[in-house]
Amino acid sequence: MKIQYFVADARWYRVEPVWGVKSFDHGYYRELIDTAYSEIAFAFL
């Protein structure tokens, strides 16, 4: 069984299922993208 969700508010640990997303935490996902990019950035230099 797969459960998919979006983080609605990282500070309060609130998540919403994919099928019921009304909003999501832009800052949380921005931080994930920045972290992922910093881990692979050497490949683009």
SS3 content of the chain, % helix, strand, coil (to 5): 50, 20, 30
pTM for the whole structure: 0.79
Which pLDDT score is estimated for 44? 86
Q: Which residue range forms the structural domain that includes residue 38? A: 5-44
CA 5 to chain centre: 10
| Tens-digit pLDDT profile for residues 1-45 | 888 999 999 999 999 999 989 999 999 999 999 999 999 999 988
Which pLDDT score is estimated for 1? 80
Number of domains in the chain: 1
Count Cβ atoms within 10 A of the Cβ of residue 7 and give its class: 0-12 exposed, 13-18 middle, 19 or more buried.
Answer: middle
Which pLDDT score is estimated for 45? 82
